[in-house]
Amino acid sequence: MRHTLPLAPQFYVTAPQPCPYLRGRMERKLFTGLHGDQAATLNDALSKQGFRRSQNVLYRPACADCAACMSARIRAADFRPSRSQRRTRNRNADLRRAPARAWATDEQYDLFRRYLDSRHADGGMADMDIFEFAAMIEETPVSSRVVEYRARRDGEDRLMAVCLTDLLDDGLSLVYSFFEPEAARNSIGTYMILDHVEMAHAAGLPYVYLGYWVPGSPKMAYKARFSALEIHHRGAWRELRDPAAYSGATHPLSVEPIAEQVSRLSLPETRPTNPHGT
């Protein structure tokens, strides 16, 4: 006989550490591992519930008294670029998209280092060496791509931007992206999002997942400028109509206890194969 059993991953909580988005706060994360042939199924299911992937781990903020971080996604079919975003697309018209398997290169790492040194010299990744970079790109138990963006500069073919992208059953998830610092004035980060919306729409995928939107965090404000944006708030996806309606203020009752958070998760089911076929 065949039996349907729940896939029951183990969940853990990180120790508190300084929040990278809101000054003076502490963050902690609820996380679980991604392993085996059910990794993609679990990644699909938990991405729909506000989780993000980092290598072989899925995580979601679970801070003690703050619920400011909210997962964000764009409805690809309903997205309409703003005038500013159309200008961004035109300014980057010379970029060529080149998707490839999730494999790190020296050229990517050189660009990654220039990006960090210019924009995030004091961030958590500032000391990442080439081996850690390769692990970030290559250690993926799900279907992932490295999307490179190249252009002719000074007679040479140059790598201008990179996005590590997961293929979910309902969309594309931008895991991490970086770009040539000298191209920042062309809003190349925004361009990569616009291009992923185009790719998702062309593939018939409903969503593009952008990571977390954090009201009150200047570095995350750009996400609210995309139309057809939804945020995962209080257990459901809701359209972000007025960003000012959401606050990053803390409250001791803003977060459910960890055990309740885990109990509310909807986990996929797995159907183990009976070797006797009965």
Strand partners, 144: 166
How many domains would you assign to the chain?
A: 2
Residues 25 and 80 in one domain: no
For the record, the structure tokens of 41 come out as 């199924």
Please give the pLDDT value at position 125.
Answer: 75
Q: What is the mean pLDDT of residues 22-48?
A: 94
Do the bridges between strand 269-270 and strand 5-6 make them parallel or antiparallel, or are there none, so unpaired? Answer: antiparallel
Asked if pLDDT for residue 96 goes beyond 80, the answer is yes
Helices (H), the chain: 39-47, 83-91, 106-119, 130-138, 188-203, 258-263
Any idea what the Cα angle at residue 57 is, between residues 222 and 262, rounded to 5°?
A: 90
Task: Give the range among 76-85, 86-95, 250-259 with minimum mean pLDDT.
Answer: 250-259
Residue with tokens 């679980």: 32
CB 149 within 8 A of CB 192: yes
Residues 203 and 255 in one domain: no
Asked if pLDDT for residue 74 goes beyond 90, the answer is yes
Q: What is the pLDDT of residues 112-153, one digit of tens each?
A: 999 998 876 566 677 889 999 999 999 999 999 999 999 988
Q: Evaluate whether residue 81 is within a structural domain.
A: yes
Residue with tokens 């729940």: 6
Residues 63 and 91 in one domain: no
Residues 83 and 37 in one domain: no
Q: Which structural domain, as residue segments, surrounds residue 11?
A: 5-69+247-270
For the record, the structure tokens of 202 come out as 């062309």
- Could you tell me the pTM of the whole model? 0.90
Q: Evaluate whether residue 278 is within a structural domain.
A: no
